[in-house]
Amino acid sequence: MTANKMWGGRFETGPAAIMREITPSIDFDKRLAGEDLAGSRAHVRMLAQEGIVAKEDASAILKGLDQVEREITDGAFVFKRELEDIHLNIEARLAEIVGPAAGRLHTARSRNDQVVTDFRLWVRGACERADKGLLELSRALLTQAETHVASIMPGYTHMQPAQPVTFGHHLMAYVEMFARDRGRFEDARKRLNESPLGAAALAGTSFPIDRDVTAKTLGFARPMRNSMDAISARDFALEYLAACAIAAVNLSRLAGELVQWSTPAFGFVKLSDAFTTGSSIMPQKRNPDAAELIRGKTGRVLGDFIALATVVKGLVLTYGTDLQEDKERVFDAADTLEISLAAMAAMVADLTADTARMRAAAEPGFPTATDLADWVVRVLKKPFREAHHIAGSIVKRAEEKGVTLDKLPLAEMQAIEPAITDKVLDVLSLEASVHSRMSLGGTAPDRVKEQIHFWKEKLK
């Protein structure tokens, strides 16, 4: 084995076989090819502009990079593990195409600033894709919410019937969550969008480079101020992974609800054949696989964050090859989140709500007991604590009689609180309860319509 032709000047022999196994990152970092080409183009143009390399060499290099790009898109490019990573693979091929002038591309640059420039560009794109996926999902939720702005369902706390709500209200809660997720990706994108290029190995370079120019060409807001920070910082990737983790957790809750809502015991929603799978033994089954997988994949995304945070936590400044472990975690989280978002958006668009089942499920459990207590406060002017006690006793009576609150004879209520009149019946139905919750953000259909209107304008 001869020494590595890209960096082996001081080496007499090549690496041990096991080194050739453990070192390469090309199997996964080939995904950075587009970003690497963009970074090289920006760099070599700047080198020519500053007179650091000759114009002819720069244009030969640019032409060569175009050819490399074509070969990669056509699938003709041969990725070599002995060339370790995407950076050396592209540079080596460039040398074959262009000849010795290709060697000038790496002037005033190191793989350390090169890799992190590529990676920042990639994560920037991933933030944009996450945002788009969340937007599509929010739009699907909005459409369903509009249809079901007044469809009554049980609202739960502790998974016990609490107060009736509308399905539209419930779905809009997720629109709020996913809007915050979008905000996290937007913040991450804004903070990461600074250029590390030109930090070179760690200390900067003695060549008169113009970092403002390369930053601008690559769409970065500015060059990073500190070359050592530029090389070693991975908090941008952690921030992206944290945003992915929180979004995955939010998605997992919705996925869990879909699993529950679609089981026959609930029967609140039906997923079409296209979004369910059968069982190899039980002919009747309709399994909500996509929802379960979305819920299950949350674990990987959380793990991706922990894995990279653990890599970075003990690392002295600046670069250590430990950092090569950053990419797979980010790629995995991005792939997982993106497919989960797409599947969830499609499932939400596909589902049919069984409004009769939902309404029927809202009947048991005395969910209008709060409305009864509120009526006693409002009409009989009792303190809420006393009203709560009266309503509780009436619930007990209804439970003994096996009826809902609005079916309990007035005389039964009066036996507990003589001042109660038949006017109380106005507030005890599910519809009356839902329509009465007109406080800001409440479940009254008119209030939910306001939320829908707000987001429809915003998500246009």
Q: How far apart are CA 273 and CA 275, in angstroms?
A: 5
Q: Where are the beta strands (DSSP E) in 275-388?
A: 352-353
Closest to 455 (Cα-Cα) out of 204, 85, 157, 180: 180
Q: Which stretch binds ligand ARG (CB under 6 A): 93-101, 109-117, 273-281, 283-291?
A: 109-117
CB closer to ligand ARG, 194 vs 326: 326
Figure out which of the listed residues 43, 93, 111, 120 binds ligand ARG, where binding follows CB under 6 A. Answer: 111
Smallest distance, ligand ARG to C-beta of residue 151, A = 52
Q: Map residues 306-345 to x or -, x wherever contact with ligand ARG holds by CB under 6 A.
A: -------------x-x-xx---------------------
Smallest distance, ligand ARG to C-beta of residue 185, A = 23
Q: How far apart are CA 273 and CA 157, in angstroms?
A: 31
Closest to 373 (Cα-Cα) out of 398, 390, 358: 390
Considering only residues 23-62, where is the footprint of ligand ARG by CB under 6 A?
25, 29
- The yes-or-no answer on residue 43 being catalytic is no
Helix (H) or strand (E) holding 417: none
CB closer to ligand ARG, 324 vs 404: 324
Q: How far apart are CA 399 and CA 78, in angstroms?
A: 75
CB closer to ligand ARG, 2 vs 321: 321
Q: Which of 43, 252, 272, 279 is catalytic?
A: 279
DSSP 277: B
CB closer to ligand ARG, 312 vs 448: 312
Smallest distance, ligand ARG to C-beta of residue 319, A = 6
Q: What angle is formed at CA 211 by the lines to CA 209 and CA 213, rounded to 5 degrees? A: 100
Q: How far apart are CA 342 and CA 340, in angstroms?
A: 5
- Residue 89 lies near ligand ARG (rule: CB under 6 A): no
3-state secondary structure of 32: helix
Smallest distance, ligand ARG to C-beta of residue 85, A = 4
Residue 143 burial (C-beta neighbours within 10 Å; 0-12, 13-18, 19+): middle
Strands 222-223 and 194-195: parallel
- The yes-or-no answer on residue 106 being catalytic is no
CB closer to ligand ARG, 30 vs 216: 30
CB 307 within 8 A of CB 326: no
Smallest distance, ligand ARG to C-beta of residue 197, A = 14
Closest to 204 (Cα-Cα) out of 193, 196, 212: 196
Q: Which stretch binds ligand ARG (CB under 6 A): 108-116, 153-161, 282-290, 368-376?
A: 108-116
CB closer to ligand ARG, 114 vs 193: 114
Q: Applying CB under 6 A, which residues contact ligand ARG? A: 25, 29, 85, 111-112, 115, 319, 321, 323-324
Catalytic amino acids? 158, 279
